[in-house]
Structure 1
């Protein structure tokens, strides 16, 4: 089975994430897309993150009606900060029957050469890249391991969503309905 790994803090997950994941699963050769909920991205401040299990719960709520989308907490028990290469090694050991690929936004290509063991990632894994406004493939354009997918361009920000919740704004259209209902009835992000 071909599994695309969509890493992120999903703080919180929003319809942009769902649209990208569903598009990649439906319009590429990926059988499933797994949302890998990251406890701490090495490039992000930890202070703005909601609890790991709250974010995982929101991802599970959001994907309930999508049988080809899954949530993974594999990084919760790995040393922090978690690095993609380490997570890939653990997943390979745990699920030897799966063929894993990465999913990333084109804006991540700028710093990809700075990723821990990025050469090993490129040697062993395909990378599905979705477009972002103002981002170009750069030096990676002709690399055989990169698959540039013509997915919808989503400019929805989790930061904007968190700020809007704090300000009691109604942002229901930006969130999957179960996620909105959960957040609307909780103190998360307030």
Structure 2
């Protein structure tokens, strides 16, 4: 009997997806025991009007085109059809039901681990799923109960200090940020005139 496929879930708004996201996702799939990484695009929360957030379909399209050359990385819109506001614990339960032959894990930055105790049903998540943590430079400390937890694995991925916020501002300011994005993502953004106004 084959063991279930181990899939890491990397959540985010990806507004836009950049080389930092790709580097971390690819590092996770190549240098850990994960078989695939799914980039899960978080939908726009209808209760929060965020002007800088592109429509769901555009962010998903950019993720899809960014991953074209990475067969172990997949774009996921699983949260688009779930009721809002949604919580990670619900998404995990939904995925488990939909893909019973796979085993799911969470990928998160060290900064998120510092506030993980505030997540809805975080104990349930830890009981049932493994966490793969990549390093981030951030303030605050990790709760001691998380530092040596058997289900929390620190992965020594490169520290990426690149943010989508920085990229959006740079585009608005007319800067050339082409090296920070996949070529096809840059072309799509440019053609659609995103973030320029």
TM-score category (smaller protein): over 0.9
Could you tell me which residue of structure 2 aligns to residue 55 of structure 1?
Answer: 59
Q: Secondary structure at the match of 1:47?
A: coil
Q: State the structure with more CA Rg.
A: 2
Total equivalences in the alignment: 189
Could you tell me which residue of structure 2 aligns to residue 46 of structure 1?
Answer: 50
Q: Secondary structure at the match of 2:14?
A: coil
Q: Secondary structure at the match of 1:132?
A: coil
Q: Secondary structure at the match of 1:164?
A: helix
Q: Deviations over 1:132-158 (max 9, x none)?
A: 013654421101110000000000010
Q: Gaps (5+ residues) in structure 1?
A: none
Matches within 5 A, 1:96-111: 96-111=100-115
CA distance in 1, matches of 2:29, 2:51: 32
TM-score (norm. length: structure 2) = 0.92
RMSD after superposition: 1.6
Give the C-alpha shift of residue 41 in structure 1.
Answer: 6.8
Could you tell me which residue of structure 1 aligns to residue 150 of structure 2?
Answer: 144
Q: Gaps (5+ residues) in structure 2?
A: none
CA distance in 2, matches of 1:157, 1:177: 17
Q: Work out whether 1:114 is the aligned partner of 2:118.
A: yes
Q: Secondary structure at the match of 2:51?
A: helix
CA distance in 2, matches of 1:178, 1:76: 24
Give the C-alpha shift of residue 45 in structure 1.
Answer: 6.7
Mean CA deviation greater in 86-95 or 129-138: 129-138
Q: Deviations over 1:78-102 (max 9, x none)?
A: 1112210010011001000000000
Could you tell me which residue of structure 2 aligns to residue 28 of structure 1?
Answer: 32
Q: Secondary structure at the match of 2:115?
A: helix
TM-score (norm. length: structure 1) = 0.95
Give the C-alpha shift of residue 175 in structure 1.
Answer: 0.4
